[in-house]
Amino acid sequence: MPIKVIIDTDIGENIDDLLAVAFALNSPEFDLLAITTVDGDTRARSRIARLVTMTFGQPHLPVCAGYVSTMPRGDRPVAPEASVTQGALARDEIGLAPACSLAADDLIAKLAAEHPGEVHLLTLGTMTNLGHALIRYPETARNLRAVVTCGGHFARPPVAIGWNLSYDPIAAAITACSGVDWTLLSEGSMSDAALRDEDVQRIRDAGLPTTGLLARAIDLWKRNKLDAPPTPHLDDVIGLAYLLGEDWVPTRRGRAIIAIAPDRAAELWIEHDPAGPHALGRALERERAEQLRELVMSRLLAPARATS
């Protein structure tokens, strides 16, 4: 059966979020239930996500904007759209399906309750939406099948906390202590297998509406993301690869501990323990990462997989 997934994302900033969403939409292994956006201008991110779902033949997939700032401060004024590097893809609501009327944490809790023990939540950004869902709806920890996060550098020493955890360590700590089955994957697992120049050219030459959108997104990312690497990276695809099975991303059991202190930055401690409550991703071998890149490319270059 297809794997039920909710993607919680800061799409529109780095390019890997958009590529991961496109990969999920065009892969029969996944039943993408919803997309929720987080951090900063979540409304702009929602528009981008809805443009992607529409272009990939799934315009009625629920997409909703989530929290714009980290816990526990609550929402702050929306960040300027210039902070969303691919914002020009969808400057307004014209031609887009309406956004979901629910808040992101409400939708996450609702879908988890409707499909108890089946839904995987893939967090591709700060974990604020999930943190609020776990506080407001504690049963969500029991109803979710698992949470999958790219959140640190620990597959090879030294251990270091990643951006997705450090930006909102309170939400990450709530997740770690909630009892939800949490898989923590190492950032940079795909550093040896970013898209190559020839891959980007294949996307440009494919002539599909979907690949045209991907090419425009890549151009905006390269133009507006000042610290962008030379070619698009695929870091966020690793969470979907993990859901495809241990053959793609092996794990071992352990415990992730988020240490928060007022006088210093949050820290991540990892304990390897066969009886631990969390799954910790291992590093991908270069050959396996390159195979994953080829799988992603085959899905990105295929015609849109419209669903009923």
- The answer as to whether 305 is a domain residue is no
Residues of the chain where predicted confidence (pLDDT) is lower than 70: 73-83, 306-308
CATH number for the domain that contains residue 90: 3.90.245.10
Range of 240's domain?
3-300
For residue 119, being part of any structural domain is answered with: yes
- Is-contact 109 137, C-beta < 8 A? yes
Rounded Cα gap, residues 3 and 32, in angstroms: 8
Domain membership of residue 306 (yes or no) is: no
**Across the strands, what pairs with 280?**
184, 252
Each residue's pLDDT tens digit, 79-101: 555 469 999 999 999 999 999 99
Is residue 141 included in any domain, yes or no?
yes
What's the rounded Cα separation, in Å, for the pair 266 and 82? 28
Q: With respect to residue 307, please indicate whether it lies within any of the assigned structural domains.
A: no
156, part of any domain: yes
Residue 282: predicted pLDDT: 87
pLDDT at 263 (0 to 100): 77
Domain count, the chain: 1
In 3D space, the residue among 52, 2, 65, 26 whose CA is nearest the CA of residue 237 turns out to be: 26
In the structure encoding, which two tokens stand for residue 126, read together? Answer: 């700060």
Place of tokens 């210039």: 82
CA neighbor of 81 nearest in space, from 94, 99, 68, 100: 68
Q: Could you tell me if residue 65 is inside a domain?
A: yes
What pLDDT shows up at residue 72? Answer: 79
pLDDT at residue number 30: 98
Tell me: the pLDDT tens digits for 217-241?
A: 999 999 999 888 999 999 999 999 9
Within-domain flag for 87: yes
Closest listed residue to residue 44, CA positions, set 8, 87, 7, 80:
87
